[in-house]
Structure 1
């Protein structure tokens, strides 16, 4: 039989130590919720003691685990942000893992987990469960299943992928958006039209606002205008870093296409049609493309693709990825 990955391990009442590690906080929360449900089903009502790993004393954690509860049959202690706690008390935790309390479960939560001897000891009495950001396809599949099980609506694969393309792979944000859509749509399914109707116009306006500021930054050799615009969208407008990074990348893509078509001596009207530009926006893009260094635009487009992928997959800080890309816009004049 194939061995299950850590993400597939079933957490139950037999586990004395559980590690929930990785940057996907919602997955951690859902796995902890499932563990608590299993414990309550077997041992009755209980609430976990939740402590901060950065400030809690080791003795307090171990005393709570080892002493019998007067009102509960099974104790649960959750150490949040446990990386520093484990690093400082690794030897003591290894000793505890060799003989953990039978009436308690220790849960260690951390975005980062460094494997070592402790993992082998935990494997004998519990599990280390990785909760890392999903790839786009995995997130879309998860979202479709979540829509049905949690929100009672059907979400097709194409519609789920559209939401992931717009919002990235942050599961909490995706789940919140599906919950909002489920409350607003009529019927038992969320369609692509529902997504477009409820966010499409705002999406288009936000995209043009970013791209207009982007062209201004390029013409002035000053990243200030586009940085102010993206910060306003994220901080005040509720847009995700993933979505705004896409807007910037899409603007750079349009400039690259215009330059490529122009090098083939294609007319302005045909170029605008192919790139899907109209009115004043088309004029601004065409003018900017005529004075920008094509090699620099191509390098910037490559950087935009890389930043978009990194942000969607949860690599690095999304805000920093976006702002670094924007700073590069000020240095592409021919």
Structure 2
């Protein structure tokens, strides 16, 4: 079962003896685990009824004994094994037998990265017990942000604001939730969170700073772009990570440049490249397009391939210098010979 669907139904679902939280999205795992604890324990003190274990060197007998031990206070004993991949691998046969005859007073939660459906253990568990905790595709995250803002903070997050927030923060659901909480507090009694509010209030992040660097590129201000880039490096950001955050926007610019060259209208091309639709975002994007010009847009994909290889060992230049050179190349005014 998908984690978001599980969270929607958890409060009204039937308690199961075993749950498997699988995937790599820790934010979803944490909320699914809390939903299970609320379902199983109600208002009882979780600290007195939950037994956490690391699965590295864990014996199944230890887990079984704990599951059969009544809590001091509460209706059940909950055992959480995290991480549980090695535990599942080492104790698979015992777990298969346990699923067939589980404790009547205990609930087992296994936190794993993977849980192949081809195994006997996976086949023995109902779909409702296997909760897939993976972040939604990037194009689904704005809708999730809208829903989360409404459910958690009673705020209306505008669609454009949601798209821009995902662009600034990236696809990490935990970070998005943190920023939404900050936004809801910052806007006070206002019912809605707009794209302008996101632009002015979202905390300092690598992606947000990269947007400011690209704004400086669009303004043809290489000195400002380099200053912002230097601040990131001085704060300890790795050139590979900075370039990773920058690449998404540059690919969009290359894509729109290519599609408009083929005759597509600017608006349709930007829609196809998932450029946020709020006016200021599109105005800045068009400004960057105009500044770069046809020649640089045509070369942009090749430049991205070149720096990707260079940052992975294909160049003798320091990684920081490679990124700085690309930013200067992009930010120079169009009439400079090096841009032709």
TM bracket, shorter-chain basis = 0.5 to 0.7
Alignment equivalent of 1:155, drawn from 154, 157, 165: 157
Give the deviation of 1:134 after TM superposition.
0.6
Q: Name the counterpart of 2:123.
A: 120
Alignment equivalent of 1:298, drawn from 287, 290, 301: 301
How far apart, CA to CA, are the structure 1 residues paired with 2:39 and 2:285? Answer: 57
Q: Name the counterpart of 1:38.
A: 39
Give the deviation of 1:57 after TM superposition.
2.9
Q: Is the 8 A contact 1:20 1:108 kept in 2?
A: yes
How far apart, CA to CA, are the structure 2 residues paired with 1:235 and 1:164? Answer: 23
How far apart, CA to CA, are the structure 1 residues paired with 2:72 and 2:231? Answer: 54
Give the deviation of 1:94 after TM superposition.
0.8
- Return closer, same or farther for 1:139/1:255 CA change in 2, 3 Å cut-off: closer
3-state SS of 1:92 partner? helix
Q: Name the counterpart of 2:21.
A: 20
Q: Name the counterpart of 2:71.
A: 69
Give the deviation of 1:246 after TM superposition.
4.3
- Return closer, same or farther for 1:75/1:277 CA change in 2, 3 Å cut-off: closer
3-state SS of 1:106 partner? strand
Q: Is the 8 A contact 1:252 1:300 kept in 2?
A: no
Alignment equivalent of 1:276, drawn from 287, 290, 296: 287
Single out whichever of 246-255 and 27-36 deviates more from structure 2: 246-255
- Where do residues 75-94 of structure 1 align in structure 2 (5 Å cutoff)? 75-94=77-96
Alignment equivalent of 1:51, drawn from 53, 62, 70: 53
Q: Name the counterpart of 1:108.
A: 110
Alignment equivalent of 1:134, drawn from 124, 136, 140: 136
3-state SS of 2:129 partner? strand
Give the deviation of 1:56 after TM superposition.
2.8
The two structures have a TM-score, normalised by structure 2, of: 0.65
Give the deviation of 1:82 after TM superposition.
1.0
How far apart, CA to CA, are the structure 2 residues paired with 1:71 and 1:234? Answer: 48
Give the deviation of 1:258 after TM superposition.
8.9
Q: Which runs of 5+ in 2 are unaligned?
A: 262-283, 327-337
How far apart, CA to CA, are the structure 2 residues paired with 1:71 and 1:151? Answer: 32
2:162 is aligned with 1:195: no
Q: Is the 8 A contact 1:209 1:229 kept in 2?
A: no
Q: Name the counterpart of 2:244.
A: 245
Q: Which runs of 5+ in 1 are unaligned?
A: 217-224, 263-272, 308-320
How far apart, CA to CA, are the structure 2 residues paired with 1:34 and 1:18? Answer: 12
Q: Name the counterpart of 2:279.
A: none
- Return closer, same or farther for 1:247/1:326 CA change in 2, 3 Å cut-off: farther
- Return closer, same or farther for 1:46/1:246 CA change in 2, 3 Å cut-off: closer
RMSD of equivalent CA atoms:
4.8
Give the deviation of 1:44 after TM superposition.
3.8
Q: Is the 8 A contact 1:136 1:161 kept in 2?
A: no
How far apart, CA to CA, are the structure 2 residues paired with 1:233 and 1:258? Answer: 33
How far apart, CA to CA, are the structure 1 residues paired with 2:174 and 2:314? Answer: 26
Q: Is the 8 A contact 1:253 1:301 kept in 2?
A: no
Give the deviation of 1:38 after TM superposition.
1.4
Give the deviation of 1:184 after TM superposition.
1.3
The two structures have a TM-score, normalised by structure 1, of: 0.66
Q: Is the 8 A contact 1:249 1:301 kept in 2?
A: no
Give the deviation of 1:179 after TM superposition.
1.0
How far apart, CA to CA, are the structure 1 residues paired with 2:213 and 2:243? Answer: 8
Give the deviation of 1:69 after TM superposition.
3.1
Q: Is the 8 A contact 1:207 1:244 kept in 2?
A: no
Q: Is the 8 A contact 1:74 1:104 kept in 2?
A: yes
Q: Is the 8 A contact 2:210 2:245 kept in 1?
A: no
3-state SS of 2:126 partner? helix
